[in-house]
Chains A and B, each alone.
Chain A
């Protein structure tokens, strides 16, 4: 980290070589020292304020307004309608389906991702150097694929006619396939028509793309555990499972806390992959809250008000989860 060559390059400095002072310069470009951090923060604060905080306040306002085409084009001012947007979405069955889809998907996907990711992380820690490098490079590829391309890839794998999944299922012996699924011929099985099978594919897609991050994080955490602890456990004759539960898990708890909340945040608002898999907001039964909000606000006729109301519900759910996250952070250290 300490690169002396850069120091010598910058060392003399072009500015007033004769003026030697001890301690820090009192002024920078004529600014009093106390004001420097505030000046440095101005652009960042402006961006965060204008593009994140103010819009967040606006969502909360729009959720109580009627904002359709006339309002968007500026022909009419937004109309204040109280809680009408909320009563309308709460009366709508699609909202409850979307809420259920969002929560069930998040719970299943977060659990699966964490379990698979942790298992692979532990595996990587046990593998030899060459083998673990190979596996890490492999999972890096899955991790790097952009969400839209993830959707495209898995849509192709699960394609009804030429998809490789149906081909593979046809390979199963007929009796086994019939026993397990009640059918033996899978050719032409359309996976992306029904809500439940769309979500099956979506779960596989998201788990495939997100377990690598968990695995590599867990591996980094495992490398930080002193090996003496494991030796002691071995001397005491503890089983592998017991060692994992009594040593690995407690020591990795802070890592897991962060990974869990990050995964929840990512999986609650999944959009790109779902958008590709079902081909736009086509199947109402398969909406989640993000998709429902998008469809309400941007499908003609645009209903920005109820879209904002749905977005607000999603945000509140996420902020509750976030509160847990921030508490965890604050507990771990004082910033």
Chain B
């Protein structure tokens, strides 16, 4: 074989493996979406039907009108959105304040606080389930989305602060000093100088929190006992009934739940890795 032919062969082999990886990654997602739009006779079959040849919206319509566990899937989508957005709003304010403190000030106890963040990140949420459940009941927040927001803020905040502080630290201090020299107060400087520059980082951090809260199952499972308060992850469980599973409906609902996350992933794609890794490694 000539060197050129060898090079071509190498490239072809690599591309073939690349296609295999692509198919392995995307096929299950494709299968979810395509099942959502197949008629039942094409779903419950031992044949392989690659495309929905009888393309139908019946499952989407059914989950929107009839729904599951007594409510339209909209109710659960709305609950999930309220919880995730609530978590993001509260979390963004708190983490911005704390991140500014650790990235902009040297103070006694700063290192201790950073260590605290690390330790807090390592505590498994599952371990906190029991005490937080009892606490939320004590506070009278059981069966209320506010209780779920509270829990999710707690679960996402340490990572939010940890990640956001690298974005705050990346803004050159000289910009703020220039504003001070011009007579701006600290508060003005914060809002007019620091905040606009940190905003992209705040968006990335918020998306992390949003996804975490959107996907959260176990707390929603124990805290929400009435079906009108279920979030999407809980509601999806109710499609698996004794009478057999309505796969068309569950795939339509899963697709609806996945779409917002995919969109957010594509937005923050670049920051995803730097965020997770920087959050984890960088000081």
Which one of B98, B180, B214, B274 lies within 8 Å of A25 (CB-CB)? B180
Stretch of B1-9, B55-63, B65-73, B171-179 on the interface side: B171-179
Whether A23 contacts B180 by the Cβ 8 Å rule is: yes
Minimum CB–CB distance from A307 to chain B (whole Å) comes to 6
* Residue from A48, A134, A315 having most chain B Cβ neighbours under 10 A: A48
Which chain B residue has the least Cβ–Cβ distance from A159?
Answer: B247
Whether B126 contacts A167 by the Cβ 8 Å rule is: no
- Give every chain A residue within 8 A of B277 (Cβ-Cβ): 217, 220, 255, 258
- Give every chain A residue within 8 A of B281 (Cβ-Cβ): 254-255, 258, 329, 332
Give A residues with C-beta under 8 Å from B.
1-3, 6-7, 9-25, 28-29, 34, 36-38, 40-41, 43-45, 47-48, 50-56, 58-59, 62, 67, 72, 120, 123-124, 126-128, 131-132, 134-135, 138-149, 152-154, 156-157, 159, 161-162, 164, 166-167, 187, 208, 212-213, 216-217, 220, 254-255, 258, 262, 265, 268-269, 271-272, 275-276, 279-280, 290, 293-294, 297-298, 304, 307-308, 311-312, 314-315, 318-319, 322, 325-326, 329, 332-335
Whether A307 contacts B28 by the Cβ 8 Å rule is: no
Whether B132 contacts A138 by the Cβ 8 Å rule is: no
Q: Check: B135 CB closer than 8 A to any chain A CB.
A: yes
Cα–Cα, bound, A109→B59 (Å)? 34
Give B residues with C-beta under 8 Å from A.
11, 14-15, 17-18, 21-26, 28-29, 31-32, 35, 43-48, 93-95, 97-98, 100-102, 104-105, 107, 110-111, 113-120, 122-135, 137, 150-151, 153-155, 157-158, 161, 170-172, 175, 177-189, 191-193, 196-197, 211, 214-215, 217-218, 221-222, 232-233, 236-237, 240, 247, 250-251, 254, 257-258, 261-262, 264-266, 269, 272-274, 276-277, 280-281, 283
Do most interface residues of chain B lie in helix, strand or loop, or is the interface mixed?
A: helix
Which one of B107, B119, B189 lies within 8 Å of A38 (CB-CB)? B107
Inter-chain contact total with CB atoms closer than 8 Å = 357
Give 18 new A-B contacts, CB below 8 A, not counting A43-B97, A72-B137.
A19-B183, A37-B105, A44-B98, A51-B132, A51-B155, A53-B116, A138-B25, A140-B265, A141-B262, A142-B26, A144-B262, A145-B29, A146-B232, A164-B31, A272-B217, A272-B233, A294-B222, A329-B118
